[in-house]
């Protein structure tokens, strides 16, 4: 074999080696970026469990500070809690048992909600169902509405303490509804909020549930995510800002996916400005609420300081958390292999209050 043939053969081997190396690097990069199977496997291999002392004790609260608060979860059917949201729901159930908070699961398959909440979109029906449930349970002072995929990451918090922080320097029960701003995109979060059991709250939730969304395209305005911004627009927009509001609504109607929904949300936030507290009088705002003999006034709080949040998206930190955290959003079994949500699912870990 000539010297030139040997050189050519070595170059060919070198070429295929580099090709195989680059292809392997690309496959590993793509797999870990989009699926993360190896990292998820390593996460499951790590079995060390750290036990933390729980200091929060609801029995220490004075009578005047202990409120009748129920945690409320709404699902299309009860089977979802045994499958898709099993871990999240088990943590919420254990937390409520630990601190003696009533836990209410509203099953939209129940005849009462089928008849009285006829909305086609589940995302809207759940707010209607909560309004109906509040009207049937007058003894409940507050409801903490949570998405079914929200789990308790840190049970060392009491619900009353959140309300106390929101109402600092204000009389107790000052707000009817309390929302928060999502950290990563300034969106008003539709999946968790505090609802005071008041006539205003019930009518406001019904107003939101029955909101007319754009129908120019199948995206339908991002359902209740987009609609809550339109509701806030109605809260503050009487005739004085109808022109600006109309521009925002045009952006909403043209949105075909969540990326295009964001300009509408930012448009609404620009009109809202830095305001966090809103006193709503249906006679002067754009809201059309049926409050009967009530004076019509209600107050809504939008929390924008993340240090006061009771919940946040877990994927922001790969589900790593700090003592300030309480609920993490996004605990769905179908997302367990998606890298950006991290891997928090460890099989056969006791969820009992003895170990929680």
Helix H or strand E segment including 294: none
Q: Is residue 352 part of a domain?
A: no
Q: What is the CATH number of the domain that holds 225?
A: 3.90.550.10
Q: Is residue 115 part of a domain?
A: yes
Residues 179 and 264 in one domain: yes
Q: Is residue 103 part of a domain?
A: yes
pLDDT for 185 equals 86
Q: Is residue 171 part of a domain?
A: yes
Q: Which domain holds residue 21?
A: 3-34
Residues 7 and 100 in one domain: no
Residues 271 and 177 in one domain: yes
Residues 119 and 262 in one domain: yes
Residues 147 and 18 in one domain: no
Residues 19 and 129 in one domain: no
Q: Is residue 136 part of a domain?
A: yes
Residues 14 and 79 in one domain: no
Confidence of residue 293 (pLDDT cuts 50, 70, 90): very low
Residues 330 and 246 in one domain: yes
pLDDT digits (tens, 9 = 90+) for 85-112: 988 999 999 999 999 999 999 999 888 8
pLDDT digits (tens, 9 = 90+) for 187-229: 999 999 999 999 999 999 999 999 877 766 667 667 899 999 9
Residues 181 and 66 in one domain: yes
Residues 6+ apart with CB under 8 A from 44: 343, 345, 346, 347
User: What are the DSSP E strand ranges found in 8-166?
Assistant: 69-75, 103-107, 142-146, 150-152
Q: Is residue 128 part of a domain?
A: yes
Q: For the chain, what is the domain count?
A: 2
Closest CA to 219 of 187, 269, 261: 261
DSSP 154-213: -----HHHHHHHHTTTS-TT--SEEEEB-TTT-PBPSSEEEEESSHHHHHHHHHHHT---
Write the CA distances from 19 to 24, 26, 60, 245, integer angstroms.
Answer: 9, 11, 67, 56
Cα gap 175→153, rounded to integer Å: 26
Which residue shows structure tokens 């979109």?
Answer: 121
Q: Is residue 19 part of a domain?
A: yes
């Amino acid at each position: 074999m000539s010297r030139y043939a040997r050189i050519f053969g070595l170059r060919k081997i070198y070429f295929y080696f580099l090709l195989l190396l680059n292809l392997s690097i690309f496959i590993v990069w793509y797999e870990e970026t989009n699926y993360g199977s190896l990292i998820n496997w390593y996460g499951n291999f790590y079995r060390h469990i750290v036990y933390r002392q729980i200091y929060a004790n609801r029995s220490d609260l004075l009578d005047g500070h202990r409120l009748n608060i129920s945690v409320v979860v709404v699902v299309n059917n009860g089977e979802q809690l045994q499958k898709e949201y099993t871990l999240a729901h088990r943590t919420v159930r254990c937390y409520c048992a630990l601190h003696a908070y009533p836990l209410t699961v509203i099953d939209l398959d129940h005849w009462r909600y089928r008849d009285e909440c006829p909305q086609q979109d589940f995302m809207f029906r759940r707010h209607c169902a909560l309004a109906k449930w509040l009207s049937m349970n007058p003894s409940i002072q507050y409801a903490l509405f949570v998405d079914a995929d929200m789990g308790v990451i840190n049970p060392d918090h009491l619900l009353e303490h959140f309300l106390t922080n929101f109402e600092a320097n204000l009389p107790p029960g000052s707000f009817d509804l309390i929302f928060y701003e999502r950290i990563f995109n300034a969106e008003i979060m539709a999946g968790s909020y505090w609802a005071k059991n008041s006539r205003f709250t019930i009518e406001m939730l019904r107003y939101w549930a029955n909101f007319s969304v754009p129908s120019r395209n199948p995206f339908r305005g991002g359902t209740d995510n987009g609609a809550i911004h339109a509701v806030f627009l109605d809260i503050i927009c009487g005739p004085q800002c109808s022109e600006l509001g109309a521009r925002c609504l045009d952006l909403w109607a043209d949105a075909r996916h969540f990326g295009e929904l964001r300009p509408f949300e930012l448009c609404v936030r620009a009109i809202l400005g830095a305001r966090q507290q809103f006193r709503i009088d249906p006679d002067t705002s754009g809201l059309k609420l049926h409050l009967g003999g009530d004076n019509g006034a209600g107050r809504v709080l939008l929390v924008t300081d993340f240090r006061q949040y009771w919940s946040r998206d877990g994927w922001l930190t790969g589900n790593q958390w700090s003592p300030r955290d309480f609920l993490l959003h996004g605990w769905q079994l179908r997302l367990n292999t998606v890298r950006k949500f991290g891997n928090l699912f460890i099989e056969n870990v006791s969820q009992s209050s003895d170990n929680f």
